[in-house]
Amino acid sequence: MKHVKLITDSAGDINKDLCGKFTRVPLAIRVGDREFVDDEELDLKELLRAMKESTEAPKTASPSPWDFLREYTGEDCVFVVTISSQLSGSYANAVLAAEMARKKKLTRFVHVFDSKNATVGQTLVTLKVLELIEEKRAETEIVEEVNDYIENLNTYGFLESIDNLVKSGRVSKMMARLGSALNIRLVFGRSPEGTIDLVEKVRGTKRAMQKLVDLIAETGSNLEKKICGIAHINCFEKAQQLYDKIRERFNFKDVIIFDGSGITTVYGNEGGLVIAF
């Protein structure tokens, strides 16, 4: 296989070890009259501050087909990983760009993966593609093995704050006040189709973290062959505590902490944690 380029949109999370290993095409974030670009220059603390001060729910915009097409042009072989097609138009735009690239013969091969995920789940899909590229696997092998990986990937997380859900009208102010009084945390998971579904409501952060650990025990298998990813939104200490709990109880091949992207920050809000395995 000749030169291979790996591309992902910015909905996946990263850390310093991943810098330069693949190309990220950024989504845009609008908070009130301010626009943020979800790239390496994004100030996450400023984004959090802007969201807290705004009375409106933040909005996001996927990369255009032309944003993707620019990255495909002139490449021999391109693999792309996007956020779930059920959550954003990013996948559809990446596919449209791929069709344009093939028609105009701007690249020899391009394949777009619908990660059916977001946040750290999408990151693990991207790392799986990278692993197979480095092993110099054939293009068809990569497609088949990554699709199988996506189907068997588990992603869970919890929200420390539901402010953005209230601002968007998805949760009533009355329910929010009740949840705050009872110290409720919403635990969610991704569905096989790639949507985000409520798993359980628990009281308190400690119980929410313990629920994530318990979900690994309930739904995980062959953990010694897998990586567990942890994404945090401006709460590294909590992520480290969760890391220690997971390391103590399970024998994953590796456990890696990632910083939440701008898109993860928008939907997870400050204090949120996500795991994938």
Do 172 and 265 lie in a common domain? yes
Nearest residue to 201 via CA among 221, 176, 220, 218: 176
136: left (phi over 0), alpha (psi -120 to 50) or beta: left
Question: Of 135, 151, 167, which residue is a domain's last?
Answer: 151
Is the model's pLDDT at 170 over the cut of 60?
Answer: no
Separation of CA 105 from chain center:
31
**Angle 99-111-121 from CA coordinates, rounded to 5°:** 125
Question: Of 119, 151, 183, which residue is a domain's last?
Answer: 151
> Residue 172 has what pLDDT?
62
Average pLDDT value for residue range 176-192? 79
Separation of CA 135 from chain center:
24
> Residue 179 has what pLDDT?
57
pTM over 0.85: yes
Do 193 and 137 lie in a common domain? no
Q: Say how many domains are in the chain.
A: 2
Do 167 and 184 lie in a common domain? yes
**Residue 183 is part of a domain; what is its CATH number?**
3.30.1180.10
Do 138 and 239 lie in a common domain? no
Do 74 and 143 lie in a common domain? yes
> Residue 182 has what pLDDT?
64
Average pLDDT value for residue range 29-51? 96
- In this structure, which amino acid lies at residue 172? S
**Residue 96 is part of a domain; what is its CATH number?**
3.40.50.10170
pLDDT (tens digit per residue) in 94-106:
999 999 999 999 9
Percent of the chain beyond pLDDT 90?
85
Is the model's pLDDT at 224 over the cut of 80?
Answer: yes
Do 138 and 172 lie in a common domain? no
Q: How far apart are CA 35 and CA 48, in angstroms?
A: 13
Q: How far apart are CA 61 and CA 270, in angstroms?
A: 21
Do 81 and 19 lie in a common domain? yes
Nearest residue to 204 via CA among 217, 186, 188, 230: 186
Do 89 and 194 lie in a common domain? no
Do 135 and 182 lie in a common domain? no
Q: Which helix (H) or strand (E) holds 261?
A: none
> Residue 2 has what pLDDT?
73
Q: How far apart are the first and last CA of the chain?
A: 29
Longest pairwise C-alpha distance within the chain? 59
Question: Of 151, 173, 195, which residue is a domain's last?
Answer: 151
pLDDT (tens digit per residue) in 41-81:
999 999 999 999 999 999 999 999 999 999 999 999 999 99
CA torsion 238-193-37-70 (nearest 10°) is 140
Do 32 and 106 lie in a common domain? yes
* Phi–psi pair at 198, nearest 5 degrees: -70, 130
Is the model's pLDDT at 173 over the cut of 70?
Answer: no
Q: Which domain holds residue 173?
A: 155-276
E-strand ranges in the chain read 4-9, 23-25, 28-31, 34-37, 59-61, 77-82, 109-114, 155-159, 184-190, 196-203, 227-232, 254-259, 273-276
Q: How far apart are CA 277 and CA 215, in angstroms?
A: 11
Res. 113 pLDDT band, cuts 50 70 90 = very high
* Phi–psi pair at 166, nearest 5 degrees: -70, -45
